[in-house]
Structure 1
């Protein structure tokens, strides 16, 4: 379990960094081409939009895996012992349900509905943009199942509390 978690963390961290660096490069090229060369790039805006969606969805999956997502901890901070673990596992189960219904089911429908539409400048199907939804949904479910197992075995602390 810890190996799967570590491997996914490693892959997602470096993939997100690579996407971010490429976005900085494309945005810089867009500025240089527009203002210095007086010849604006036609594909950079579409490529940036595409990259931003993928970066956001992969980063969301990573943050859920780290259990650093935004949540209201008013009740869970007052729980101790077994009840705290139960509430943490319940939160992971809710994430699994959300990922399965919204991200995977809805994402597959959105992907299949938009595969016939093309980005004219990039010459790729718009469905590949929506493919980020089911991919991140699967990653979130894997992370949540792994987190549940670690929580039950008490090998991972409950969500960190910031003062």
Structure 2
């Protein structure tokens, strides 16, 4: 199971790196073309915008997994160990519920925009808005994988560099 989880995390990270590299390459090519030849790619800005949307949603799960989202832990830290465990359990239930709700809302929104097309690429907008349910589904998967660790100790993101 650990091997599957590591492969899932590595694949998620690799998709993000490749997507960011493609976006940077397209934008770099567009800027260079604009200044060197006076011509630019008509679709480059649209690709960059939609790539950023997809990269944001695809990366949310990894950020959640590593405790990189904003968190206020004062109330949790003030509680005794048993209270912290209960609070973390409640937080997990709320997060799972919210993420599932957002998958449903994202699918609904995606279906409502199925007849629209993007201006430059003429891509159905439902594929752009599909980033939302896919991203929240990934967040559910990442949260499910780190939930046992979170229940035991919480996820902490340190601002300090590791001592080594």
One fold, TM greater than 0.5?
yes
Shift of 1:47: 0.3
Match of 1:45 in 2: 45
Match of 1:11 in 2: 11
How far does the alpha carbon of each residue in 1:3-38 deviate from its partner, in whole angstroms, 9 at most, with x for none?
443232111111111111111101101101111110
1:159 to 155, 159, 163: 155
Contact 1:92-1:145 within 8 A present in 2 as well = no
Find the aligned partners of 1:59 and 1:117 in 2 and give their Cα distance: 26
Unaligned 5+ segments in structure 1 are: none
Contact 1:33-1:40 within 8 A present in 2 as well = yes
Find the aligned partners of 1:116 and 1:54 in 2 and give their Cα distance: 20
Match of 1:144 in 2: 143
Match of 1:20 in 2: 20
Match of 2:120 in 1: 121
Match of 1:106 in 2: 105
Find the aligned partners of 1:162 and 1:150 in 2 and give their Cα distance: 16
Shift of 1:129: 0.8
Contact 2:66-2:155 within 8 A present in 1 as well = no
Shift of 1:162: 3.8
Which stretch of the first structure deviates more once superposed, 143-152 or 110-119? 143-152
Unaligned 5+ segments in structure 2 are: 160-164
Match of 1:32 in 2: 32
Report the count of equivalent residues.
159
